[in-house]
Amino acid sequence: MLILELNYDQDVECPIEGSGWQFVSFHRNSSDKPSDHIETVDRSGSVTFANIGLARKVECGTAFILSRYGHSGEQWGLRGEVHQCRFDTADIAGMLIWKDKVKYLPHVRGDKSKTYALRAERARSEMAEYTDWCNGECYRYRLTERDDTGKVIWEDSCGGCIGAEEFAKYVRKLVKGRTIDQYLGEAQYMADCYDFVGKPPKVLEEKIA
């Protein structure tokens, strides 16, 4: 018998910590000062940065302006790439600035546009994970195999997983297509929405429907 226990993990640290990025929020409750980063924004939305160094960082993809949508949850993304709402979307809500060595970011020799695109994708991934973390999408699992007498013959557990899709993908590698006989835990409902065993997509869609 294979048993999968799914639970929330409330002890996961912010994924931006130690990532090489500095997250700057312009929210009124934040200690970050917008004036330290952005000098003016004109009616067309064009930004004048507080210093030329930051402007150059934005130009080459080592810094990005962030937007935020906040309504029954959080969504952070690169400017203009979050859900748009006249009431709940802040077009300029903060910045993501690379503080580590530039050599650790993607670079395509002689092609600035490809370099920028790769760095932007890296930043998008960072903000997607941060969004999941903000919304409490942090999980842990316990996978237990028992024999016919109920004795545990194998067990594995881990926490710190951010994002439901990534969590399911990680567990799926451990299950390796075997049948899960029982789901337990406060997040066991996830079994109705995510594939933990490697079902064919059609089967999973029919189950969700």
Residues in contact with 31: Cβ distance below 8 Å, sequence separation at least 6, in sequence order: none
Q: State whether 127 and 164 are in the same domain.
A: no
Q: State whether 129 and 179 are in the same domain.
A: no
Domain boundary among 75, 103, 134: 134
Residue 200 has pLDDT above 60, yes or no: no
Give the count of domains, the chain: 2
CATH number at residue 144: 3.30.420
Q: What is the DSSP letter of 173?
A: H
Residue 130 has pLDDT above 60, yes or no: yes
Q: State whether 167 and 127 are in the same domain.
A: no
Q: State whether 101 and 145 are in the same domain.
A: no
Question: Taking residues 83-94, what's their average pLDDT?
Answer: 96
Name the pTM for this structure: 0.88
Residue 177 has pLDDT above 90, yes or no: no
Q: State whether 130 and 142 are in the same domain.
A: no
Closest-CA residue to 192 (of 205, 179, 176): 205
Locus of tokens 């949508």:
69
Percent of the chain surpassing pLDDT 90: 88
Residue 121 has pLDDT above 60, yes or no: yes
Boundaries of domain holding 147: 2-12+138-208
